[in-house]
């Protein structure tokens, strides 16, 4: 296992801005500039634009700037059947890689929730979320530093549902069968349990027999079936609602 490292900022001036925001939290633009670039407002704006583009700094909800939150945790390394892969908390910089995997997994239209998650990420451009609306986190599996799988947990900030979270997970087809999905699922469930969630669920079209079998093999149970809930390529398909208790 390797500890999660600081992002590579490639420039001392950007590192100064990032470090200041990390130490001080959400801060007014003027205060950040005064503390880091008092004599060069143009340079400050330039470096902030690059930090935003690289997914390291964002607009704070109350105005000003803040560091994009990252999920803390260790990176784990595994090797199976000659495939070496890593599982770790996702970072904002993983956004495009996660979107690519989500879209490839969802293109066969057998994972409707994954399609929805991809649409939300594409629209919001924000990987991790923690506010008064919902919580959202991701873990990723990587091969040669490329994202090839994900686990995503999302929970609305509603008291009556605060003990539950929705989970999605998927791996690119060419990397299936090597244990990536199982390790991703385990990592997501470990995190959910550590955060006090009691039940995790997800919904899958009945035509996705592989996903249903995968979850059952990992201790999930079919909780309910909604007949004809989906309409895929003109055919009505049942929704299989699955859950795991933590």
Q: Which domains does the chain have, with CATH numbers?
A: 12-67 (1.10.10.10), 76-245 (3.40.630.30)
Q: Distance (Å, rounded) from C-alpha 24 to C-alpha 151?
A: 31
Q: What is the pLDDT at residue 10?
A: 62
Q: Where are the alpha helices (DSSP H) in the chain?
A: 12-24, 29-36, 41-53, 95-106, 112-124, 180-194, 209-217
| pLDDT digit string, tens, across residues 43-85 | 999 999 988 887 788 887 677 898 877 777 889 999 999 999 9
Least confident span in 72-76, 145-149, 241-245 = 72-76
> What are the tens digits of pLDDT across the range 160-214?
778 899 999 999 999 999 999 999 999 999 999 988 899 999 999 999 999 999 9
Give the confidence band of 227 by pLDDT, cuts at 50, 70, 90.
very high
User: CA separation (Å) from 161 to 134, 135, 192?
Assistant: 11, 12, 14
Residue 104, both tokens: 């490839």
Name the burial class of residue 18, with classes exposed (0-12), middle (13-18) and buried (19+) by CB atoms within 10 angstroms of its CB.
buried
- What is the per-residue pLDDT across 194-204, written as a single tens digit (0 to 9) for each? 888 999 999 99
pLDDT, tens digit (0-9, with 9 covering 90-100), for 3-12: 334 555 666 7
- Contacts by 96-99 with C-beta closer than 8 Å and gap 24+? 97/140, 97/146, 97/147, 98/127, 98/138, 98/140, 98/147, 98/150
pLDDT value at 91 more than 90: no
């Amino acid at each position: 296992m390797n500890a999660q490292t600081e992002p590579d900022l490639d420039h001392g001036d950007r590192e100064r801005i990032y470090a200041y925001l990390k130490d001080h939290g959400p801060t007014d633009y003027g205060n950040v500039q005064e503390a880091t670039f008092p004599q060069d407002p143009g340079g400050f704006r330039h470096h902030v634009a690059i930090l935003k583009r690289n997914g390291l700094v964002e607009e704070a909800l109350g105005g000003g700037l803040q560091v994009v939150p990252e999920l803390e945790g260790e990176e784990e390394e595994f090797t199976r059947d000659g495939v070496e892969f890593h599982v770790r908390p996702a970072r904002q910089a993983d956004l495009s890689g996660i979107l690519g995997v989500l879209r490839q997994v969802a293109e066969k239209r057998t994972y409707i929730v994954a399609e929805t998650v991809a649409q939300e990420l594409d629209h919001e451009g924000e990987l991790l979320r923690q506010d008064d609306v919902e919580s959202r986190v991701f873990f990723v599996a990587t091969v040669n530093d490329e994202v090839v799988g994900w686990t995503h947990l999302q929970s609305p900030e509603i008291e009556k549902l605060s003990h539950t979270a929705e989970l999605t997970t998927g791996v690119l087809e060419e990397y299936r069968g090597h244990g990536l999905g199982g390790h991703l699922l385990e990592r997501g469930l470990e995190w959910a349990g550590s955060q006090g969630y009691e039940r995790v669920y997800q919904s899958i079209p009945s035509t996705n027999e592989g996903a249903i079998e995968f979850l059952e093999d990992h201790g999930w149970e079919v909780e309910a079936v909604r007949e004809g809930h989906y309409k895929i390529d003109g055919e009505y398909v049942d929704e299989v609602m699955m859950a795991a208790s933590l």
